[in-house]
Amino acid sequence: MKQNKTWIKELFFEYIWMIIKYTFVAGAIALLIRGFLLIPLPVGGNSMEETLSQGDMVLVEKISKIKRFDIVVFQLSDGTTYIKRVIGLPGESVSYKNDQLYINDEAVQEPFLEERVKEDQDTIPVTYDFTFSELMGVEKLGKDSYFVMGDNRRVSKDSRSFGAISSEDVLGIARFVYYPFPHIKFI
Res 91: pLDDT: 94
Which residues form the catalytic set?
A: 47, 84
pLDDT tens readout for residues 64-85 = 899 999 999 999 988 889 999 9
The dihedral through the CA atoms of 42, 185, 153, 131 has a sign that is positive
Residues 157, 77 within the same domain: yes
* Same domain flag for 71 and 115: yes
Q: Are residues 123 and 165 in the same domain?
A: yes
**Domain range spanning residue 31?**
1-36
Residues 139 and 63 in one domain: yes
Q: So what's the pLDDT on residue 37?
A: 62
Please tell me which residue, 83 or 31, carries the higher pLDDT value: 83
Same domain for 62 and 2, yes or no, is no
**CB count, 10 Å around CB of 48?**
26
pLDDT at 170 over 90: yes
